[in-house]
A and B are shown apart, each in its own frame.
Chain A
Amino acid sequence: MTAIIQAENLGRWYGEVVGLGDLTVQIEPGITGLVGPNGAGKSTFMKLMVGELRPARGLLTVLGEVPFGNRELYRQLGFCPQQDALYEHQTGRHFVRDLLRLGGWSRREADRLAVGAMERVGLEDAMDRKVSGYSKGMRQRTRLAQAIAHGPKLVVADEPLTGLDPIARRQTLDLFRGLAEDGCSVIISSHVLHEVESLTQTMVLIHRGRLLAQGSVREVRRLISRHPSRVDVIARDPRRLASALLPLDHIRTIKLGDDPKKLTVETDDISAFHRAFAGVAASAEAGVTGFKSDDASLEAVFDYLIG
């Protein structure tokens, strides 16, 4: 299978800030999730893919073409940017239609395609209203509509699920599945692993501008499952609580910090910890007043994975 994206030692920085360090990756056709915490370089990679930026070093081809300013490539490419920006004076329908017209479509055909795209993203009732009056989710879907309206071979969507309510999120995920069934490749970025997991089994993980892992969701999950989860607990008597928790099998470490009321627990099985915690805390009578699991973030997992 021919790769749709080929990046070799790709680097891009903004002054002294590294956007992308040294990325070598191949992405095959289909749906691919580009996952990484905020600041990992996902948006920079996507901006390079769509030719908004040029690499500072390395090589990048998209559908076999160098992307920057490549008009032929843009006929086959749809980009849904992350930034919440639209032409505020236009209606959703006119926004999509006018961008289609730039692609060479006649006014009538562009309007037909624009209406189709707005229907596909579930905005048929609002498409004749000005985008300045749209909600955040509607604006997001309008950006998506302009990316898919011309029937591209590849859609690049930067955090397309951000700001969507659960129903719109499900519709959008269905839309991506539909695009893939029609033979369109989709690359979506997200910092939320399970969002991407529900859409594709193929994932590219980047962190601090470098490729961390690439493969199936199962492989990534396996890496994550080795990662101990950390829980911060605030209690009146943290030492007493620590003594009660220590005998549990899945507890790896318990640390008492500078804060006299706080303890940090590392566990190999967060679910078992959650099940056992209430009973242990009650019997220890340690006066628990706060409980925070900050390890759910992808950032923590990435930090663990890179050591």
Chain B
Amino acid sequence: MSLITELPRATWLIFRMHLAATAASRRALSGLLFAAVPPLLAFLALTASGSGDSGVNVFMYLGVLVLLQVVAPALGVFLGIGAIADETEARTVTYPFTRPIPRASVFLGRWLASLLVLTTLLLASGAGMAAITLRASDPPSMDAVRGLLSATLIAGVLYSLGAAVIGVIFKRGQVIALGYAFAFEVMLANIPGSAQKLSLQYYLRSLFVGSENADWRSLAVFQKSEFLTTADSAERLLATTVILLVIGCVTVTRKQFVLSS
């Protein structure tokens, strides 16, 4: 069977093999707690302020500063890093690697299983937060909700894929991935100027701020920044995804995984 036909077949089988275990993993259960934070904060913010805070403000601030900038990267790293790292740590990687399948399918199948769990958590988190703020006075528009949720899901794809690649390359990748997401990214994304363009957050924010929705522009955090159009940022994020996929697949195909006996 050729690589072209074998890769999707084996990826699907690996995905099926690991989906249930990934969903029931400690990583996913911790993620569930983390995903509950934005809706909880939205509820607390609206309850504490009485009628002082409008739904749109709570949704936008929590959406950008908590859901997109903290929860999506954190869950992406926690779930994505395990794609190959969990297999090598558990020393089970020998089994799929001594089967007649492309090695890349192990990376892809396990990452996709993580991604499905991740997107479910992020979607639940974002939707929960939206549901709470939509009931408040001056609720966010559905365009704003859709824009933020789409950007959050794309953030999940990128951060989990980046973490999965780091997990393939480095033995203790979680520290590196978290360092990238919470030190490098947060710093760059929030400093005014062109340095923002070195962060994923800039392109993710461009997806919805760059559109015609004026609500986002009203946020102080975005007022000093120039953003790309939605199409341009989507193009760059897609290119980044493809590059990360290629790096992950090639590395896992060529790398020797030394397991302790």
Contacts and interface: CB of A to CB of B under 8 A. Distances in A.
A50 B6 CA distance: 20
Contacts of B17: 87, 98
Given A52-B256, A69-B253, A86 B92 contact: yes
A72 B13 CA distance: 19
Contact of A72 (B94, B96, B100, B259): B100
Nearest to B9: A104
Interface in B33-92: 90-92
Interface in A79-99: 79, 81-83, 85-87, 89, 98-99
B223 interface: no
Given A52-B94, A69-B253, A86-B92, A99 B258 contact: no
A104 B99 CA distance: 10
Contact of A89 (B21, B95, B103): B21
B102 interface: yes
B99 A74 contact: yes
A52 B257 contact: yes
Interface residues of A, number: 30
A43 interface: yes
A83 B260 contact: yes
A87 B13 CA distance: 14
Nearest to A38: B261
B85 to A, nearest CB: 14
Interface string A261-304: 00000000000000000000000000000000000000000000
A85 B98 contact: no
A71 B256 contact: no
Contacts of B6: 71
Interface in B215-261: 253, 256-261
A79 B256 contact: no
Contact of B99 (A83, A87, A103): A103
Contact of B20 (A14, A89, A99): A89
B186 interface: no
B101 interface: yes
Nearest to B253: A69
A54 interface: yes
Contacts of A72: 100
Identify whether the interface residues of A are mostly helix, strand, loop, or mixed: loop
B214 interface: no
Choose among B98, B100, B257, B260 the residue with the greatest number of A CB atoms under 10 Å from its CB.
B98
Nearest to A85: B91
Contact of B100 (A54, A79, A103): A103
A102 B10 CA distance: 6
A77 B98 contact: yes
A204 B113 CA distance: 43
B245 to A, nearest CB: 19
Given A53-B256, A69-B253, A102-B100, A146 B91 contact: no
Interface in B1-32: 1, 6, 10, 13-14, 17, 20-21, 24
A13 to B, nearest CB: 11
B97 interface: yes
Contact of B91 (A54, A71, A77, A83): A83
Contacts of B257: 52
A269 to B, nearest CB: 37
A86 B93 CA distance: 10
A116 interface: no
Contacts of A14: 258
Contacts of B91: 81, 83, 85
Given A69-B253, A83-B259, A89-B24, A102 B101 contact: yes
Nearest to A54: B256
A68 B254 CA distance: 9
Given A98-B17, A102-B101, A83 B258 contact: no
B189 to A, nearest CB: 38
A54 B6 CA distance: 24
Contacts of B260: 83
A75 interface: yes
A177 interface: no
A151 interface: no
Given A53-B258, A87-B21, A87-B92, A101 B98 contact: no
Contacts of B24: 89
B100 A71 contact: yes
Choose among A43, A54, A98 the residue with the greatest number of B CB atoms under 10 Å from its CB.
A98
Closest 9 CB pairs of A and B: A85-B91, A102-B99, A71-B100, A89-B21, A74-B100, A83-B91, A85-B92, A79-B98, A75-B100
Interface of A: 14, 43, 50-54, 68-69, 71-72, 74-75, 77, 79, 81-83, 85-87, 89, 98-99, 101-104, 146, 158
15 contacts: A50-B94, A51-B97, A53-B256, A54-B256, A74-B99, A74-B100, A75-B100, A77-B98, A81-B91, A87-B17, A89-B24, A98-B13, A102-B100, A104-B100, A146-B95
Given A52-B259, A85-B92, A102-B14, 14 more contacts: A52-B94, A52-B98, A52-B256, A74-B98, A77-B98, A83-B261, A87-B21, A89-B24, A99-B95, A99-B96, A99-B99, A102-B99, A103-B100, A158-B261
